Chains A and B, each alone.
Chain A
Amino acid sequence: MVDAAALATPAAAAPAASSLSVSDLHAWYGESHVLHGMAFEVPKGQVVTLLGRNGAGKTTTLRSIMGVMNKRKGSIRFEGRETIKLPSRAIARAGIGYCPEERGIFASLSVEENLMLPPVVRPGGMSRDTIFELFPNLKERLSSGGTKMSGGEQQMLAIARILRSGASLLLLDEPTEGLAPVIVQQIGRTISRLKAEGYTIVLVEQNFRFAATLADRHYVVEGGRVVDTFLNADLQSNIDKLHAYLGV
């Protein structure tokens, strides 16, 4: 009976078990209504991208999932549990790690303090040794000030510190923005490795060529909602449509 009831829910009806399931999500900055019914699924263990122009609502979507938007409505289910009404700290403790677009590195903390700041919320997080193996530069710079490092190193720190906590879903907001190609490649390799280790990742990107090397599925965001979606395998056949959406 329990199984039958579970099967009736939309999440269970999806082809793979969903890590994250967003539906009819609305969000506001003050009076300004910016998300108009966002809806998408993120299957467990997959990398999903939100593509779209500036101002489409991609960052706001991640902020809403993380609970840092004050005014939001609709449904955000993480591992089957409704989180729309939870405060940000409870959402983090449920097992979602957030790497914001501005990276959120603390200037008044050293690299090590930044790395160790997020509390471990669930077992199964990466050890310090594994993190240093992934990001050897960080080990060299542990005592420097968090914002004294290069942009690329700060980006790696911002990703590294959410790996310790045991989060299973990572929200990465434009991790390659403004970085040199060699750093972009390194971050790409890191994300592939994280995917191989079983992390589920929502990636916000403007650079769909970068996204195409990593993602399983793409959602195109426009005007605060998802207007199209395709599997990465179908990217080439949709390339003209995508160019039109992104205006590139």
Chain B
Amino acid sequence: MINKQYSSVSAAITDIPDGATVMIGGFGASGSPIELIHALIDHGAKDLTVINNNTGNGEVGLAALIGNRQVRKMICSFPRSSQSKVFPELYQAGKIELELVPQGTLAERIRAAGAGIPAFYTPTTVGTVLAEGKESREFDGREYVMEAWLPADFALVKCEIADPLGNLVYNKTARNFNPLMCMAATTTIVQTKRLVAAGDIDPEVVITPGIFVNRVVEVPKPVHEDTLIAAGRSYP
């Protein structure tokens, strides 16, 4: 029987090369695959392009990956945080690139990549500086901006329950970008709080079908970014 289970977070991410494009799930702290991110810091791949809604908090997780100078470029919708100086300082020093994408466009570009749709038209950004240089077209008398799909080499994702086939269930608002990123990456790596046997997840409640998932690793007691920050922790 198919088994996508990996024994450890380090084994699951060890082939991420320098220069890779990596999607990281989560919205702020919720749904952030922090153990996989810390394994990527230990692994040391550099020159990464990272896709996430934000740029991390404190000095753990995504902020620590950026702070460790492994990220060449961030693609995100909201790179500011009241809890982190890591990205702003590097950005203002010209040491990291930023592609700013409105949140809904970011989600749809990721979804489109997973769905095999190379581009789409959206009303978002029409009449603003973020539409400059982009192709636009009128449909039924209204103007729309063309946006391209956004694929990635790897996706790092967090979920609540997984089975060895890669069927996934999330928890509350920790779902956010995670299911979309599963679809859009060549190799999708998932950390799950609980790994159950095939058949233990009701097929009616599967959110991400296993076809979108390549690797699953169980992390039974994931740490939460906010808890680490409240404890004044940094990584490594």
Q: A and B: real partners?
A: no
Interfacial residues, chain B to chain A (CB-CB below 8 A): none
Interfacial residues, chain A to chain B (CB-CB below 8 A): none
